Structure 1
Amino acid sequence: MTDVVELRQYTLHPGQREVLIELFDREFVETQEATGMRVLGQFRDLDRPDHFVWLRSFPDMPARLQALTSFYTGPAWKANAAAANATMIDSDDVLLLRPVRQGALAGLDPATRDTPASSLVTATIYHLPSPPEEHDVRFFGETVLPLMEKAGATPLALLRTEYAENDFKGLPVRTGEHVLVVLASFPGQDAYAEHTERLAGLPEWRDDVRPRLPDSVDRLLLTPTDRSMLR
């Protein structure tokens, strides 16, 4: 079950991204999952060479507190924390989310890890002025995602802000924000470029969807590491 998701964006010292990825993929995947969380995906940000983006999930908020406490007091983090922190300028850019559709990310297969990943994943963060109403969520789930798929995307999940209090104080999260996040996958960068052209050319997207989308949008273009399940 995946009911709570963290979308984590780290700003790193110049030239340190590959150092962190090698350390993370070797030391921080199975060791985190042993505490009850799932490491969903690890990524290079195409537009920001000194940024590392990753997602992890938990069954619920109490399980999150238990898993984070276990991991950050455990041997894997104690042994490697100094090396990991040495690569980072900032690790506090974190959105706490939950899937709109329960089980949306449950089918990810750990067997995909350790195989070459040539795909492109997009995380599109739509900033709303207030908590999303149910009609907003339905609009994205029933209109936006199907049109994206029609234009060549593979939608992976629709997520919304989780408003529960962050009870693991050692790791800050962004608060006071209202977002809907669309995760989607493409075979590669060329396929993504073709998708954007097709999508812009769809009359229903241009006339019906674009005018209803929020003006404030962050779009992350992400390439998975070879140990990422999301790809």
Structure 2
Amino acid sequence: MIYELRRYTMRPGRRDTLISLFEREFIEAQEATGMRVTGSFREAGEPDTFPWLRAFPDMPSRRASLEAFYGGPVWLTHRDEANATMIDSDDVLLLHPVGPEPPSWERPPVGAGEPPPSLYVATIYHVEDGFAGFFAREVAPALAEAGVPPVACLETEHAENTYPRLPVRTGENVFVWFARFDTPEEEREVELPMLKSRLTAAPVRLRLRPTARSAMR
């Protein structure tokens, strides 16, 4: 599978406008082209961002699905409304799974009310090649012992972006792992001293509250 972790910068106060439009119009329209909208989130403490995750079977199908959706009637009808809510949509990591893939539940229908109480934390490491094996051997067991097992692990997909209309971040090598907590009150960080010599930049933590129709719940 190929994943995109997308993090939009919103115009102040417009995030919920986009989420409402996204959940009403864009989820089924994207999935009808063969992609999977895996998760959509409000980022805790960052009211003007909209992170979300989508998946494709492979790079050729990614191109075909993106061409079908962004050239199709739903996007063409609603793109101006969507684009009016955003300042930037180019913060995109192209990734593939290593180890477990992101979890998924049955998606609630259009018009679903309250979002689930859970919290996901996506931790982004900038790393050298070969980090995934080190993480599996040394980091994942320590996290599991501390009660924070990774529920998904992804790393940079270096294939050429064959749909350049939508840019992705290049020149980076990242490893992303997700933890899930039933409620934000259960969130905790784990000290991982073995990482100190392995990271090429400071880690980034995204604290993600699923939206009402997120498949990651």
Render the CA deviation track for 1:167-201: whole Å, top value 9, x for unaligned: 10110000000000111111122110xx32xx33x
Residues paired across the two proteins, number = 213
Contact 2:107–2:214 (CA under 8 A) maintained in structure 1: no
| 2:125 is equivalent to residue 126 of structure 1 | yes
Give the direction of change, closer, same or farther, for the CA distance of 1:52–1:216 in structure 2 (3 Å limit).
same
Give the Cα separation in 2 of the matches to 1:6 and 1:66.
Answer: 15
Q: Is the 8 A contact 1:45 1:53 kept in 2?
A: yes
Q: TM-score, normalised by structure 2?
A: 0.92
Paired residues of 1:141 and 1:158 also in contact (CA < 8 A): no
1:152 and 2:147 correspond: yes
In structure 2, the partner of 1:33 is 31
CA distance in 1, matches of 2:144, 2:216: 17
C-alpha distance in structure 2 between counterparts of 1:76 and 1:173, whole Å:
23
Find the aligned partners of 1:33 and 1:173 in 2 and give their Cα distance: 20
Moved more, 172-181 or 147-156: 147-156
- When you count helix as a share of all residues, which structure comes out higher? 1
Aligned to 1:58: 56
- Length-normalised TM-score, structure 1: 0.86
Match of 2:105 in 1: 109
Structure 2 CA distance for partners of 1:223 and 1:213, relative to 1, 3 Å: farther
Q: Deviations over 1:143-175 (max 9, x none)?
A: 322322322324221111000000101100000
SS in 2 for 1:110: coil
Cα-Cα RMSD = 1.7
- Counterpart in 2 of 1:173? 168
**SS in structure 1 at match of 2:54:** strand
The residue type equivalent to 1:21 in the other structure is I
Counterpart code for 1:126: Y
Within 5 Å, give how 1:136-151 maps onto structure 2. Answer: 136-151=131-146
Counterparts of 1:230 and 1:110 in 2: how far apart (Å)?
A: 9
Structure 2 letter corresponding to 1:211: K
Percent identity (aligned): 48
Deviation at 1:112, TM superposition (A): 5.6
Which consecutive unaligned segments of at least 5 residues does structure 1 have? none
Q: Which of the residues 195, 203, 213 maps onto 1:217? A: 203
1:48 shift after superposition: 1.3
Q: Distance in 2 between matches of 1:121 and 1:68?
A: 26
Rounded to whole Å, the distance in 1 between the matches of 2:107 and 2:211 is 14
Following superposition, the deviation at residue 210 of structure 1 comes to: 4.0
